[in-house]
Structure 1
Amino acid sequence: MEPKFDQLKTFIVEKGWSPYRFKQILQAVFKERIDRFERMKALPLSLRKQLQQAFGESILSLKPVTRLSSAQADKVLFELPDHNKIETVRMIYRAGWESYCISSQCGCGFGCKFCATGTIGMKRNLSADEITDQILYFYLHKHPIDSISFMGMGEALANPQTFVALKTLTDPQLFNLSPRRITVSTIGIIPQMRRLSQEFPQVNITFSLHSPFDEQRSELMPINRKYPLQQALALLDEHIQKHRRKVYIAYVMLPGVNDTPDHAEALISLLQGRGSWDYLYQVNLIRYNPAVGTPEAYNRPQKRELDSFYERLKEAGLNVTVRQSFGVDIDAACGQLYGQYYIRGKPKEVEEK
């Protein structure tokens, strides 16, 4: 299915209206931040009624159900047209910067051991509109869109509609976002990583590593058996050399599992000496956030162990940061987008806090 703005453009022409009317719709949405066709007063009443009949009352294809808030994060539960639900997180930095963690799938079918979303399995891919409407919802509510990460529910590169959504988000007539303000996270779907590098070279890539050892990575992330770590890194090497863009390595710290001195040394060996450009690898250490549905053996790391791991990487010359955690208290942090409405596979409504 075509994205809605393409459908609207075609609809205007087919109904015999001037192409200028489509520009007025874009003006209403992206300048005046109007979501309902009936309120787009620059349009003739007859056209507004036609738009309502064809596309519904609102420009949005999803409906907010609940919203949980903490000091630095908002998590919104959206209902899709088929009544499935997804979660989106808005993060507020102290400097005023607002970043968004959006979902690309309802559920996930890749079964990473530490990720809550994977425990509910794969429901379906989101359409391009369902992906971009997560951002449009906040934009229409007058929030700035400073950066976007495809790090919510699902594996972004397993959904072909992610590429359509990226085109919409960077379209100068629509969201007009710089690709450098967008990050796509992937567990390592190599063919689609290559496509992303070719079609959107300026979009930031975050590669989920989580263990430098092949056997352990396969245990934690079954995708490693199909797309081995070294093959994924070889592709990232090519991306860096060709585009001179930094690549982010996400590493979730699992106490007693992947945070030992041996892991630190193996990670250093893995990323150093790859070439004169290997300084463009940036390691992001992420505190594991316990969540519903994940193994009880996984705990949040202690500061001492995290600091020790960080210092060893730093001493070795790696570029490394500890990612700031947002929304832990509302289950909105990394790995926690599970959807508490899924209890043993059955939807359950979430009560707003």
Structure 2
Amino acid sequence: MKPTSKYETIRQILQDMKLPTYRYLQIAEAIFKQRIGEFERMTMLPKALRDELIRAIGYQVSSVTPVLEKTSSQVSKVLFAIAGDERVEAVQLSYQRGWKSYCISTQCGCGFGCQFCATGTIGLKRNLTADEITDQLMYFHLNGHALDSVSFMGMGEALANPHIFDALTILTDKHLFGLGHRRITVSTIGILPGIERLMMDFPQVNLTFSLHSPFDNQRSELMPINNRFPLHDVMKVLDQHIRQTKRKVYIAYILLRGVNDSTEHAEAVAALLRGRGFGEHLYHVNLIPYNSTDVTPQNYSQSDQSRVKTFVRILKSREINFTVRTQFGTDINAACGQLYGTN
């Protein structure tokens, strides 16, 4: 069976060379404790092993190559080159209390065509491998940054890529990244088989569902996936997720001026989340400002503050838990919906 990641390849090499298993831990420690990014520099290993690792994996431990980095206040966006001469982006957010969070990509492009998202205009080029997903984080790690939390909210739909589950296994492996499950967030537009598998395999990983309209017809226009996995069906599975995991489910809602920010929309969002029985209090709405790009339709714009306040007032009056998100990185196209994978 073909190895699903470089870490499995390393195990296979050690087995084929009849080397002791402690060599695997030495390699893991070199990468994740000593921050060594080239096999040649792992001088604690026998030369024959280093040569074989280079032959099988390459000189660099990482499968992604940084091409360009843009920074603004509290945000850094890195453009990576990946196999096939393609590009993907990852974002680092630095919060004032010292916490560092990362937004990484799972696909090169995206095939779901959500109307307000720059990534969706590219179409799907391909799924990223488990290594390409996790190596975006490794780049920051090898450069001395703490990995406090990570969200799969970069380019692509995480749960449409089957390699996401291998990536989660790598990120939570105590010998590798060693991230706690609750420090990881997977965002989805509502891919039901993926939500169900996540619930079974990684119940403590945070789940965010992109709603963006409580009305089926409009949601189908904005997000064609709604025709395949209708809102009603997704909500039933999210209820099940809450019952089974006892964890919050986050509802992402991008406010688009004159499109989905009316009092009727706010009332309908509240009605959707109320009366769901056990755990309804565990739904938490994140209201997100819209970020325009050169490639998304010009008829979308940010809601004005009076509309946002009215929306908030209605959610509050219906006892819906919510947060109004502040956006970082809009000036370098690093905010929600802006990732496009170009220089």
* Residue matched to 2:160: 158
The 3-state SS of whatever aligns with 1:183 is strand
User: d(CA) in 2 for partners of 1:213 and 1:18?
Assistant: 59
Q: Deviations over 1:181-216 (max 9, x none)?
A: 000000001111111111110011100000000000
The code of the aligned residue for 2:252 comes to: A
Mapped contact 2:243–2:278 kept (Cα < 8 A): no
Select 1:108's aligned residue among 110, 120, 132: 110
Mapped contact 1:91–1:99 kept (Cα < 8 A): yes
Select 1:50's aligned residue among 49, 52, 61: 52
2:188 matches 1:186: yes
Give the C-alpha shift of residue 303 in structure 1: 2.1
User: d(CA) in 2 for partners of 1:53 and 1:184?
Assistant: 34
Summarize the alignment of residues 258-269 of structure 1 with structure 2, pairs less than 5 Å apart.
258-269=260-271
Return structure 1 stretches of 4+ with deviation > 4 angstroms.
none
2:92 matches 1:83: no
User: d(CA) in 1 for partners of 2:26 and 2:289?
Assistant: 46
Select 2:289's aligned residue among 287, 290, 303: 287
The 3-state SS of whatever aligns with 1:274 is coil
The 3-state SS of whatever aligns with 2:294 is coil
Q: Deviations over 1:112-149 (max 9, x none)?
A: 00011000101000000000001111111111111110
The code of the aligned residue for 2:104 comes to: I
Q: Deviations over 1:308-339 (max 9, x none)?
A: 21122112200010112110100000000012
Report the TM-score, using the length of structure 1 for normalisation: 0.95
* Residue matched to 1:209: 211
Mapped contact 1:100–1:147 kept (Cα < 8 A): yes
2:125 matches 1:120: no
The code of the aligned residue for 2:254 comes to: V
Mapped contact 1:30–1:175 kept (Cα < 8 A): yes
2:265 matches 1:301: no
Select 1:234's aligned residue among 236, 239, 262: 236
The code of the aligned residue for 1:11 comes to: I
Summarize the alignment of residues 1-353 of structure 1 with structure 2, pairs less than 5 Å apart.
1-339=3-341, 341=342, 350=343
User: d(CA) in 2 for partners of 1:36 and 1:315?
Assistant: 56
Gaps of 5+ in 1: 342-349
Gaps of 5+ in 2: none
The 3-state SS of whatever aligns with 1:91 is strand
User: d(CA) in 1 for partners of 2:14 and 2:290?
Assistant: 49
Tell which deviates more after alignment, 13-22 or 326-335: 13-22
Mapped contact 2:4–2:166 kept (Cα < 8 A): no
Q: Deviations over 1:140-170 (max 9, x none)?
A: 1111111110000000000000011011111
C-alpha root-mean-square deviation of aligned residues, in Å? 1.0
Report how many aligned residue pairs link the two structures. 341
* Residue matched to 1:345: none
Mapped contact 2:160–2:191 kept (Cα < 8 A): yes
The code of the aligned residue for 1:56 comes to: G
User: d(CA) in 2 for partners of 1:243 and 1:20?
Assistant: 36
The 3-state SS of whatever aligns with 2:220 is helix
